[in-house]
């Protein structure tokens, strides 16, 4: 299934995308949101309800991030081959994943603008694949890790670069400005994606290819990440794990190529979809 959270006619709901339309599952299921569907273990009920006729055309809805109010959005840094070399600091490749949190308000949905704040012009893009957790777990083994993944979505892990250097070991500020990143357009259920095969991720800015890599080049695989993170915390249904970006972000050009109003960023992975956002200044 391709699932979405959407707003139409002043109402926010969730549904399944079929043939260019959306079946409004929020009117058919007792759960209030897709996050609640996962927490209730009700994806099977959603699939049964998704056999109905579409209620509204996809073009007539505004897409929101697929999962409202997740308990955790955990992001992984420097996780593709050659990413460490981009920093040009002579450091060795890390033995363990680098990670940080983002709050839900730092993300917007597909076809909604990323907002450049007045505090900085250094808004950058990062195309990434995000895992949506469907089953709770602690100390999950690598062998069972993917059993806990309910599905996939795309992420533009937009960053205010100079604000990631406000203190020595803390990127949190530059990663959490309101609406500087995006998630979507869909929550694609795991049965639709063969994660044993490399997933091909590309990012373009105004049609120019900037990032182009596959998950075959991940330093820490999806299963590695889930096993490592759940060593010290419990994943719960609806949590989101953003798995890292390839080389080619704007900060790595000489001179850097920051996003500006009027730019359009498109992040694509076959089977998961294409996440598109323009850029606008905060009003």
Q: Convert the pLDDT of each residue in 79-130 to its tens digit.
A: 998 765 565 556 677 799 999 999 999 999 999 999 999 999 999 999 999 9
Host H or E run for residue 11? strand 11-18
CA-to-CA dists, residue 240 to 40, 140, 169, 278, angstroms:
17, 16, 23, 23
Please give the pLDDT value at position 84: 54
Average pLDDT over residues 130-156: 98
**What is the Cα–Cα distance from 76 to 69, expressed in whole angstroms?**
20
Residues paired with 212 in a beta bridge: 202
> Looking at domain 67-281, does it have CATH number 3.90.850.10?
yes
Ranges in the chain annotated CATH 3.90.850.10: 67-281
Phi, psi of 222 (to 5 degrees): -55, -45
pLDDT for the residue numbered 90: 61
pLDDT at position 170 is 85
| Concatenated DSSP letters of 171-235 | -TGGG-STTSEEEEEEEEEGGG--TTSPPEEEEEETTEEEEEEEGGGBSS-HHHHHHHHHHHS-B
Tell me, what's the pLDDT at 118?
98
């Amino acid at each position: 299934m391709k699932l979405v959270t959407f707003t139409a006619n002043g109402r926010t709901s969730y549904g399944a995308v079929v043939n260019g339309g959306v079946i409004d599952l929020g009117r058919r299921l007792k759960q209030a949101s897709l996050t609640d569907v996962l927490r209730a273990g009700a994806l099977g009920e959603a699939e049964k309800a998704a056999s109905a006729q579409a209620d509204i055309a996809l073009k007539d809805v505004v897409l929101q991030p697929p999962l409202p109010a997740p308990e955790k959005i955990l992001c992984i840094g420097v996780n593709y081959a050659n990413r460490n070399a981009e920093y040009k600091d002579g450091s060795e490749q890390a033995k363990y994943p680098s990670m940080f949190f983002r709050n839900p308000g730092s993300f917007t949905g597909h076809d909604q603008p990323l907002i450049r704040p007045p505090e900085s012009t250094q808004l950058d893009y990062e195309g990434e694949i995000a895992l949506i957790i469907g089953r709770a777990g602690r100390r999950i083994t690598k062998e069972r890790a993917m059993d806990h993944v309910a599905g996939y979505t795309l992420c533009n892990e937009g960053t205010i670069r100079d604000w990631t250097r406000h203190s020595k070991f803390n990127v949190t500020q530059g990663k959490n400005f309101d609406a500087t990143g995006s998630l979507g357009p869909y929550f694609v259920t795991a049965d639709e994606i063969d994660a044993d095969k490399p997933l091909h991720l590309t990012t373009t800015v105004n049609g120019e290819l900037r990032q182009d890599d596959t998950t075959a080049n991940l330093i820490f695989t999806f299963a590695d990440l889930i096993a490592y993170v759940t060593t010290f915390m419990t994943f719960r249904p609806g949590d989101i794990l953003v798995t890292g970006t390839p080389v080619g972000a704007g900060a790595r050009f000489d001179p850097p190529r920051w996003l500006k109003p009027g730019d359009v960023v498109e992040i694509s992975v076959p089977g998961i979809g294409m996440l598109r956002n323009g850029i606008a200044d905060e009003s």
